[in-house]
Amino acid sequence: MEYRRLGKSGLQVSALSFGSWLTFGNQISDKTADELMGVAYDAGVNFFDNAEGYAEGKSEIVMGNIIKHQKWERESFVISSKVFFGTENKGPNRVGLSRKHVIEACNAALKRLQVDYLDLYFCHRPDKNTPIEETVFAMNTLLQQGKILYWGTSEWSAAEIMEAIAVAKQYNLIGPTMEQPQYNLFEREKLENEYLHLFNNHGLGTTIWSPLASGILSGKYTNNGVEGTRLGMQGLEWLKDRTLAADRMEKATALQALANKLDVSLAKLSIAWCLKNPNVSTVILGASKVPQLQENLQVLEVLPVLTDDVMEKIEEIIKTKPKLADF
């Protein structure tokens, strides 16, 4: 396993990490979840991603039980939670990024995960109803209490992240260390354009999600349809419609042909492509089956295959590179 610094921080995270969105407490059994985390950990994965909103809190309960059962040394893994969406008990102060919810959600996550502190704590979305200043102060309260070690954002705009950095600087506080954006061959604007000055001037780290674009870059939907996959799950019709758009399917088919020529799976090719970006600290993998995870954990072996020539061929197929502003 390769380890990378989380932005300019001293924290080392595995280049491949493991997340529980849509699976833990929902799509798979607790026994399978335990097996998956064990396989990931044994392969050198040290970062496990979670959130209060995943399965309305059940995902964190499952992960907490697994960590307790596995008896891993606390220093050997990095664990996260995210605050914004709340759990199953919704209410006016049980969602968002108010000081009240940020702090209470952290305390609740610590109980569910059965740990004394969170390594990473993300603002899961921006909150238009709470001043960023209030959220920055709340995060610093948790830092001072030792309940979190680093805080960051997820799916924030560059302007919003910059405001948080400016607030922290003004009051001599600690600003966001990392952002968790979607990044894959179809979703590139933030990582490759909007955030560039944050990488270059502020050392922002990234923990990217959906490297397979909700599965279309795994090839399984082009061959077998959605039955038995996350896109066949009730309530995810919106994800199915967006993922299986005709344009994306056509490009995924062309990428599959290239992957076949290179003698690698489309999934491994797509994940390795994400890792080629030096501003990616870690790629979060999701899995519902052990063989699927074992296969994708071998991605680092594919990196040498992605020569400049191959990267150009991928670009010719996908045609999604953002147009950079002229300065």
Instruction: List, by residue number, the catalytic residues.
Output: 54
Q: Which amino acid is located at 211 in the chain?
A: P
Other residues' Cβ atoms within 10 Å of the Cβ of residue 311: 12
Query: Whose CA is closest to 284, among 48, 109, 27, 37?
Result: 48
CB 125 within 8 A of CB 182: no
The two three-digit tokens of residue 40, written as one number = 């990931």
Sole residue written with tokens 């004394």? 116
Residue type, 131: P
Q: Which of 274, 281, 318, 277 is nearest to 299 (CA)?
A: 274
Bridge-based pairing of strands 178-179 and 16-19 is unpaired
d(CA 107, CA 206): 24
Question: Distance between CA 63 and CA 47 in Å, rounded?
Answer: 12
Q: How far apart are CA 227 and CA 188, in angstroms?
A: 28
- Hey, how many other C-beta atoms are within 10 angstroms of the C-beta on 203? 14
Reading the block at residue 185, the tokens are: 């061959």
The two structure tokens encoding residue 49: 């991603």
